Structure 1
Amino acid sequence: MNIGEASRRSGLPPKTIRYYEEVGLVQPQRARNGYRDYAERDVHVLRFLQRSRSLGFSIDEVRRLLSLYGDEKQRTSDVRQLARHRIAEIDRKIEELMSLRRALGELAELRESASAPDCPILDEIAGERVPA
């Protein structure tokens, strides 16, 4: 099948599929005319890649997952370790976002002086001290 059909069946845009080929995650056969010729197995791998990336795994982590998926002697502990690492990263990002939310919430609650034309939120973003 051509890249358009592989795109339709995998749910990935052709540009993403070409990128995955460029980084060596998928390697379709080439027809005599030089066009990519995707097989069912390629579409299956593309779906695997899409799901892995949607779970937040990096390209290197996806490469590792793909190698474990294709290994008859796959080690569940390796997959669990990758998943736990991803969970730790998600937890770290959640904490960072909550901290940002608190800081922005505090700024949004600052009262403006009726006579002051300045905006305390913009002043804080600009790095100026906001009076307490």
Structure 2
Amino acid sequence: MNIGEAAARSGVSAKMIRHYESIGLVTATRRANGYRSYGPQDVAVLRFIRHARDLAFPLEDIRKLLALWRDRSRASGDVKRLAMDHVTALEAKAASLRAVADSLRHLAQHCAGDDRPDCPIIDELEGKSA
């Protein structure tokens, strides 16, 4: 199948398929005319990548997960370790985002929100409040 069909079947855009190919996550065979050709296993790989991206795994972890997926003698502990490391990173990022939201909320609460130009949000962005 061509890249458009692979994109439709996998839920991954043709642009992202090309990107994944350029970084070595996916390999396509080339027809005589130079067009990419994909088979059912390629679509399965693309779906795997899409699901991993839906769970916000970084590309390097997806590369590791693909290797584990392909290795039928893998230890599930290796997969679990990767997943739990990712959970830890997500929780740290969530805490960081909560802190940013709290800071911005605080600034917004101290902004009059009227017609005057004074604004603690702008002051913070300018570095005046430090």
**Could you report, residue by residue, the CA deviation over 1:58-108 in whole angstroms, capped at 9, with x for unpaired residues?**
111111100100101011111111101110111101111111111111111
**Could you report, residue by residue, the CA deviation over 1:12-52 in whole angstroms, capped at 9, with x for unpaired residues?**
11111011111111112222222111000000100001111
1:31 aligns with 2:28: no
- Name the CA distance, whole Å, in 1 between partners of 2:93 and 2:55: 14
Q: Which residue of 2 aligns with 1:108?
A: 108
Task: Answer with 10-19 or 27-36: which moved more.
Answer: 27-36
Q: Which residue of 1 aligns with 2:47?
A: 47
Q: Which residue of 1 aligns with 2:93?
A: 93
- Name the CA distance, whole Å, in 1 between partners of 2:19 and 2:111: 50
8 Å contact kept, 2:123–2:129:
yes
Q: TM-score, normalised by structure 2?
A: 0.91
Root-mean-square deviation (Å): 1.7
**Alignment gaps of 5+ in structure 1:** none
Runs of 4+ with deviation above 3 angstroms: none
1:127 aligns with 2:121: no
8 Å contact kept, 2:7–2:14:
yes
1:63 aligns with 2:63: yes
Task: Work out which of the two has the higher radius of gyration on C-alpha atoms and give 1 or 2.
Answer: 1
1:90 partner letter = L
- Name the CA distance, whole Å, in 1 between partners of 2:111 and 2:78: 52
Aligned length: 128
- Name the CA distance, whole Å, in 2 between partners of 1:11 and 1:17: 10
1:10 partner letter = S
Q: TM-score, normalised by structure 1?
A: 0.89
**Percent of aligned positions with the same letter in both sequences?**
42
